[in-house]
Structure 1
Amino acid sequence: MEWHLIFILIAGVLINVSESSSITERNKFILYYGSDSSEVFSIADGTKLLNSLHFDNLKKTVIYVHGYIENQTSVSVKTIVDAYRQRDDYNIITLDWHDDASGDYLLNAVINVNRLGKALGAIILEIINAGLEVNKLHLVGHSLGGQMVGRIGGEVRSKSEGKIVLKRISALDPAFPGFYGLFLKHITHDDAEFVDIIHTDAWRYGAPEDSGTVDFWPNGGKSLQAGCPRRGLKLLTDNDLCSHWRSWRFWAESVARKGTQQFNAVRAKHWSAFKEGDVGREEGVVMGNDCPTNITGTYFLQTNSESPFARGEAGTKYTEII
């Protein structure tokens, strides 16, 4: 066990306890509407979302949670929001937690996933009790945000004593460091009725193992993803993060439905089995926003090396892609 990491995490808890009252004050929900407009709400006043003229409770509602050192101007957030804006059947809300997602990764950001996730569980429950359709609520998160949405879902279940369970949570390459092999809880299939996970950078920045109701491993789920350049020595550069970022790029493409193909996937024991054609085929299994919520298990697929990434049925059979 990495005792020095445990010491850092314990220290982080102690340092942050005194700030617990302000965490709901400095983090925001942002409701996007129209082609370029948005409305900001303190998460402490989250129930006010329901009274906004720009919120339609008849539509499905997605809350997207960004990752480490990101904010509302990050490419990932813009890409996800733009994808949902191309549709007319969703309320798209993002969680702006950039202050708590910054600084030292273990001492600040990882600790805040748990602190803020716990607070948000209570707040989401309040919004549901105030009238938000739980059957139409979908949480989506990338990296640290992928772990955050799991924590939120677990808190909703716990605080409601199991009476309210989120219908769907989607984690896009949920963060690996600090969550696997240590004492911090990572996202699991128990956090919602249906938890789908997309792995694109396993064992590096992304989760190393199946954790959801269904887990998708495009191109094997590890780096380098198809089309990504070799990593350099410098961390957190565009090249270094390319594989990790593929998860939200795949997701945005599945939401916007820009291409004619979907991310068709097949069940397999591992990547080698997929490459050898030792797979199980089921009708209608696709990775991404349109993933059927009645499946379980581990699925593989192959993508193109550039956008559009989806290959449709061709992606269910391994080929050498140059």
Structure 2
Amino acid sequence: MDHPDWLNDTEWEPAKENIILVHGYAGGDDTLPIAVLRDAYIKHGGYNVFLVDWGALGQPPCYVAAVYNIRPIAACLSQTVMKLRRLGLPPDRTTCVGHSLGAHICGLMANHLNFRLERIIALDPARPLIKPGNMNRLDSGDAKSVQVIHTNAGHYGEGGRVGHIDFCINGGRRQPYCGNSTNINLCSHIWAVCYLAQSIFEGMEPMAEPCNRRCPTNVLIPPGRQGRGRFGYAIGYAISCTKDTDE
């Protein structure tokens, strides 16, 4: 990356949107579930994908160490992103997408940048051991647009509102596909990645209920509530629902 033409000498295409993809605890650059999202962006063809692999610093069984490590990882990542900007990466066409602890890495990274990212998409940002305060976790000040997808709020995922807009999928706490899973909470936590991978393709965007302060404790929508969004890239208008439904 020290050569001024490094970025242009790669397969990077200036006309495409840029995705910085950050996995969560116990992940890696080629592990599930983040590999599903990586492959979806690549298959779409409209994105340059930069995959951050911090797996060596976030391996089981020591979740405590992984939480401790997200701050230095974020600081290091910010240096890389600022170097990419000097090489031609446009901030207004760059999104940091993080799952679980990776969502907080996106937010903490932003604290070290000398510019603002266009967007952060936080996929069920991790709750356990995450302290309050914007220097310890993701918040709405970390990018021009911070969008959050909740799928296991209150257990593995944050229970309260975190971004400019927070989507509670199927109520935001437990996902219906996980009923037969031996760990329904972990399964629900992982599904945030799958929902975003689905939303990348036109015609397959799940529909979700925008949260107010917290994800609801049930999956009922108050009568008359409107405000459905295509989470991830554009906020549109339609009826709100808590089931994930293809358009």
Same fold (TM over 0.5): yes
2:144 & 2:166 partners in 1: Cα distance? 14
**Aligned CA distance change for structure 1 residues 45 and 244 (closer, same or farther; 3 Å):** farther
Change (3 A) 1:121 1:291: same
Q: What residue number does 1:229 align with?
A: 179
Aligned partners of 1:75, 1:138: CA distance in 2, in Å? 21
Cα distance in 1 for partners of 2:162, 2:28 equals 26
Separation in 1, partners of 2:224, 2:185: 31
Following TM superposition, by how much is the alpha carbon of 1:300 offset from its aligned partner in structure 2, in angstroms?
6.3
Contact kept, 8 Å, 1:271 with 1:300, in 2: the verdict is: no
The secondary structure found in structure 1 opposite 2:112 is helix
Counterpart CA distance in 1 for 2:147 and 2:122 is 6
Report the counterpart of residue 217 of structure 1 in structure 2.
168
Whole-Å Cα distance in 2 between the matches of residues 272 and 183 of structure 1? Answer: 26
**Alpha carbons of structure 1 residues 252 and 267: separation in structure 2 relative to 1, 3 Å:** closer
For 1:226, the aligned partner's letter is P
Q: Which 5+ residue runs of structure 2 have no aligned equivalent? A: none
* Alpha-carbon contact 1:199-1:247 (below 8 Å) kept: yes
Alignment-mate amino acid for residue 193 of structure 1: K
Query: Residues 1-322 of structure 1 correspond to what in structure 2 (within 5 A)?
Result: 50-103=7-60, 104-106=62-64, 108-156=65-113, 160=114, 164-181=115-132, 185-223=136-174, 225-229=175-179, 232=182, 239-257=184-202, 260-267=203-210, 269=212, 271=216, 275-282=220-227, 285-287=229-231, 289-292=232-235, 301-304=241-244, 310-312=245-247
CA distance in 2, matches of 1:311, 1:146: 25
- Contact 2:98-2:122 within 8 A present in 1 as well: yes
1:202–1:272 distance in 2 versus 1, CA, 3 Å: closer
The one-letter amino acid of 2:230's match is V
Alignment partners' CA distance in 2, 1:152 and 1:48: 25
Compute the RMSD of aligned alpha carbons: 2.9
Deviation for aligned residue 1:72? 2.3
- 1:276 Cα deviation after fit: 4.6
The C-alpha deviation readout for 1:240-272, integer Å capped at 9, x for no partner, is 521001100101111134xx3422345464637
> Greater RCO between the two (CA within 8 Å, min separation 6)?
2
* Structure 1: 5+ residue stretches without partners: 1-43, 305-309, 313-322
Mark the CA change 1:277 to 1:95 in structure 2 (over 3 Å): closer, same or farther. Answer: same
**Match of 1:96, as an amino acid?**
D
Residues 152 and 184 of structure 1: CA distance in aligned 2, closer, same or farther (over 3 Å): closer
Q: 1:240, 1:267 → 2: CA distance?
A: 21
Aligned-partner SS, 1:170: strand
Q: 2: CA distance between counterparts of 1:46 and 1:165?
A: 24
Cα distance in 1, alignment partners of residues 15 and 165 from structure 2: 28
Mark the CA change 1:221 to 1:240 in structure 2 (over 3 Å): closer, same or farther: closer
Count the aligned residue pairs. Answer: 243
Query: Taking structure 1 as reference, are residues 120 and 300 closer, same or farther at Cα in structure 2, changes over 3 Å only?
Result: farther
Q: Which amino acid aligns with 2:179?
A: P
* Cross-structure match for 1:12: none
8 A Cα contact 1:268 1:300, kept in partner? no
Paired amino acid for 1:229: G
CA distance in 2, matches of 1:65, 1:267: 24
Q: Distance in 2 between matches of 1:199 and 1:49?
A: 37
Bigger Rg, which one: 1
Aligned partners of 2:17 and 2:48 also within 8 Å: yes
Paired-residue identity, %: 26
* Partner AA of 2:171 in structure 1: G
| Matched-pair contact (CA < 8 Å) for 2:165–2:210 | no
- The question of whether the paired residues in 1 share the 8 Å contact of 2:170 and 2:219 is answered with no
How far is the alpha carbon of 1:62 from its aligned partner?
A: 0.4
Cα distance in 1 for residues equivalent to 2:240 and 2:2: 41
State the distance in 2 between where 1:75 and 1:94 align: 13
The Cα offsets for residues 54-73 of structure 1, whole Å up to 9 and x where unpaired, read as: 11122111011001111123
